[in-house]
Chain A
Amino acid sequence: MKFKCAELKEYEIVGRPLAKNDEKMPVYKMTIFAPDEIVAKSRFWYFLRQLKKVRKVNGEILRQTEMSNTSPTKIKNFGIWVRYDSRSGSHNMYREYRDVSRTGAVTQCYRDMAARHRARPHSIQIMKIETVKAADTKRP
């Protein structure tokens, strides 16, 4: 369960299952939006566990870096693909936000989902976030 007071941070986390002997293990990279490092790591394992047969016990994080804003003074339109659990099932959504940074847009998304759909952060998964050109936005 994530708890957010300020803006989320974007982390790029790279991890892999532990190598038993000298075998090459696949390396996985994820972008996680979280309020701090610890939650980010936790979410990383949560997602990795769902997608691959790796658990925190059997794996290691190779690198975790906080991604900084590319252009904090340029206003962009972000398209965010979300998957969330409602009271009666799981749904995909595409939402657009106008903000100055990816983290700002994702934070807005979480707040918005909570407001409009009563979705708690633990039931929201950010699948993809992309900058969209103004001409291509769904809502003008």
Chain B
Amino acid sequence: AISLARIGSSGINAEYGYTNNLSRSKMLYQRQIEVGRLCYIRLGDNAGKTCVIVDLVDQKRLLVDGPHCGLARQVIRLKNLAITDLKVKIARGCKTNVVRAAVTKEDIANKFLQTSLSKKAESKKAKAALGDFDRFKLRVAKTAHNRKIRSAVRKLKKSS
């Protein structure tokens, strides 16, 4: 989802606090993008997996490792990532074994499943997998829901 993708880009993002593109790029080494930060891959072959930042190549690319997801160590463009709040304590450029140990120690995979980013991704996947009957059911539920809201609003308007 487009809203999901640009975590930390322009606009106020309720979960991650106020950040914008400019502040993120200024604080490249300070706040969000740093060694050990957990990222969610939005685009590409490995979309949907999470990975840990191991090192930075330059302003646009990161060396990333995801032993907990079966992701090989590789260079990824920042554009394809969404940065999460979770962080793991590792040294810059450390080996995959070290990353794996740190990730399991802090149980990052489960912590990530509790973030709203992960939940939104899940719901998006579920929505894409809906069959025709499911979509019908969704539509019926939505109209019933909206009807309730609208009638409540109308009652409030009449009384005021």
Contacts and interface: CB of A to CB of B under 8 A. Distances in A.
B93 interface: yes
A73 B74 contact: yes
Interface residues of A, number: 6
Contacts of A98: 57-58
A75 B75 CA distance: 9
A75 B55 CA distance: 8
Contacts of A74: 93
Interface in A71-104: 73-75, 98-100
A100 B57 CA distance: 8
Interface residues of B, number: 9
Contacts of A100: 57, 63, 75
Interface centre among A73, A74, A98, A100 (most CB of B within 10 A): A73
A73 B57 contact: no
Contacts of B63: 73, 75, 100
Nearest to B57: A75
B73 interface: yes
A133 B50 CA distance: 31
Nearest to A76: B57
Given A73-B63, A75-B63, A75-B93, A99 B73 contact: no
Interface string B42-78: 0000000000000111100001000000000111000
Contacts of B57: 75, 98-100
Interface string A101-114: 00000000000000
A133 to B, nearest CB: 14
A100 B58 CA distance: 11
Q: Which 10 A-B pairs have the closest CB atoms?
A: A73-B73, A75-B57, A98-B58, A100-B75, A75-B55, A75-B63, A98-B57, A99-B57, A100-B57, A73-B63
8 contacts: A73-B63, A73-B74, A75-B56, A75-B57, A75-B93, A98-B57, A98-B58, A100-B75
